[in-house]
Structure 1
């Protein structure tokens, strides 16, 4: 029989991500882990080391070359070879550090874990953070293979996982995004950054916190900036984020003569500093689940213009910004110009965005307790 002492006992949890470079998924996993540790649980990480996390930053981090299993791994034979290398490594890690629950983020960790836990009885949670629409079916196959529960932050994505991915509804959970409030920031530092990013003749700053990848649609952002520049020459676009396409995007901006209007500044470890220096937040992604960066923009009181993908409409409406069709340069530019030309509207949207950020669905303590309960239920079921 399981008594109160067992029910409330600290758990041992393994969080597995493909990569821990700069990005919303990595920040989500790290924030969740810190909260769980603060609640008394033992939490280990596994995945590809990156700018945000490696063994030098956390002694419970274990390197696992999962990027080679993902689409970044190249050809299918190469990815299969990497998969066969990762599975026994993960099994050894689990033996050395026994766990009650494993939480995987994205499909590569889910695939490796589903094979590594065979015969162990360890329950597996997988979070769907979004993917190309054509990959939903294969994601569903992976999850049906080895996941007790599949989590997504978006109700729309949950529906897609059920209808397209064929994941049973009773194995799906919608859990929102726990995003920390903006930290205290020196006003003069923010003002200095704004002056630097605007340059000598910029008046209004549009920011995107985006990894330089095809998913984020930053080639679309360049086209938007050029269209906006046809009407106003004082609006500056800044993209903060590293990624495999960073130099290609910089070269594309130069080739199109857009470098005066668009700057790709690379990675930042202080996203809120840049958000607080901005007037509008822009997301041009081709696909998402529920973008953490939008909630961070709300936390900073910044209106949002975003492409209509995943659960973006669950975050953004006309009170806090605008949603435009994916890839629609004209519509995106029109919304930016509309907000740029109406300071009163921007101020009202900024206030509404900040107020929305205070809802429970974005509060870390509220969200992280839901994950803790999910882990407890799975661990108790295993024990039973």
Structure 2
């Protein structure tokens, strides 16, 4: 089978989809990729004889360059004689299905990594995104959702795709994740110059409005006198990096907060941490939490789709409302004060994460392709 993977930017493939493509190639499929090249495509793609096509997608749906992208993709798909096009990410998936809607001999798979409309989303989000996704569903052979809420929504709302499947995320390679031990925690703290006595909170995500890191910043301001040894480490870059740094300085929190910028050693920092916090306003099924669960850490997360599928309140962490910095601060103090509870949370998380393993997800995807 000849397959085309389409994403808005190359970063998505590099970060999440290489194992999926590798699986398909190992199963004797020809797989090509199409995206806007922002990050150099992974070497694995080049070594696998994938044809890499640069398409001028823009992440802003109203950007005029997407007209050009539509034309480029239409020409590529017509000339490529693909049996199946598998699309990811919102802009690329809208354009791909518009291109393919009158092409009868091509199957279209669409993985939704978290719809912009969801329970408790704004009226505006439902008004803008829901009609588009429902309309385009009739041009989708198989819709793949990565969380239970989206899976249930498309059925409740009578979306028109031929088939819907639920897959447990993009998969986390548990064999590649180092679990936390006392000795390794100490080793990485020494390596990165963090004190053994510090209570370290880690948050890996792009610094943007959706990830909402300012909620944690304000929570730290509330607990710093109770937990004077607190240290928050933000890993990631993003459009609000300068704003968040200014906020930290304005609150006098410089000694309590570190900004790592882009970080390839996320597993190291998870191992040296005591707690992971995630404060997103919207999620699909977040890899940062899956990795933290695999390491064996307790989690505090906002009570939104994706988070509340992975974090069971009082079992492997705590859930807090999206704007409740007081409850976030209180939850941090609870975990700080109760090391036995924190350890139980970590153990429970390692059990929960098993069904989200890469091996399990690849098996589920094989079933989807085979169906």
- Trace 1:342-357 onto structure 2 (pairs within 5 A): 342-357=338-353
Displacement of 1:201: 8.3
Distance 1:169 1:12 in 2: 22
Structure ranking higher on relative contact order (CA contacts 8 Å, 6+ apart):
1
CA drift of 1:280 comes to: 0.9
Query: Does residue 65 in structure 1 map to residue 59 in structure 2?
Result: no
Contact in 2 for aligned 1:306/1:312 (Cα 8 Å) = yes
- Give distance in 1, aligned partners of 2:44 and 2:19: 14
For the 8 Å contact 1:114–1:147, the answer to whether it is kept is yes
**2:7 is the alignment partner of 1:17:** yes
Tell me the residue number matched to 1:364. Answer: 358
Pairwise mapping of residues 201-220 of structure 1 onto structure 2 (< 5 A)?
A: 203-220=198-215
The alignment of Structure 1 onto Structure 2 pairs a total of residues equal to 353
1:99 corresponding residue in structure 2:
82
Deviation larger for 290-299 or 349-358: 349-358
| Distance of aligned partners of 1:233 and 1:185 in 2 relative to their CA distance in 1, 3 Å threshold | same
- Map of 1:193-204 to 2, 5 A cutoff? 193-195=188-190, 199=194, 203-204=198-199
Change (3 A) 1:299 1:38: farther
- 1:204-242 deviation line (CA, Å, top 9, x unaligned): 111111111211111212112212214211111111112
Determine if contact 1:17/1:47 at 8 Å carries over to the other structure.
yes
Please tell me whether the aligned partners of residues 203 and 234 of structure 2 are also in contact (alpha carbons under 8 angstroms). Answer: yes
Shift of 1:296: 1.0
**Alpha-carbon contact 1:208-1:239 (below 8 Å) kept:** yes
Match of 2:150 in 1: 157
2:304 to 309, 318, 338: 309
* Aligned partner of residue 258 in structure 1, secondary structure: coil
What is the CA-CA distance between 1:113 and the residue it aligns to?
Answer: 0.5
SS at the partner of 1:215? coil
2:336 — aligned with what? 340
CA distance in 1, matches of 2:184, 2:364: 36
Residue 265 of structure 1, CA deviation? 0.9
TM-score by length of 1: 0.82
Is 1:123 the counterpart of 2:99 in the alignment? no
TM-score norm. by structure 2 comes to: 0.85
Question: In the aligned structure 2, how far is the partner of 1:365 from the partner of 1:246?
Answer: 35
Identify the range of structure 1 (194-203 vs 309-318) with the bigger mean alpha-carbon deviation.
194-203
Residues 1:286 and 1:196: Cα distance change in structure 2 (over 3 Å): farther
Paired residues of 2:185 and 2:273 also in contact (CA < 8 A)? no
Q: Which residue of 2 aligns with 1:382?
A: none
Question: Is the contact made by 1:193 and 1:277 (CA closer than 8 Å) also made in structure 2?
Answer: yes
Counterpart for residue 180 of structure 1: 173
TM superposition shift of 1:202: 5.5
Aligned twin of 1:40: 28
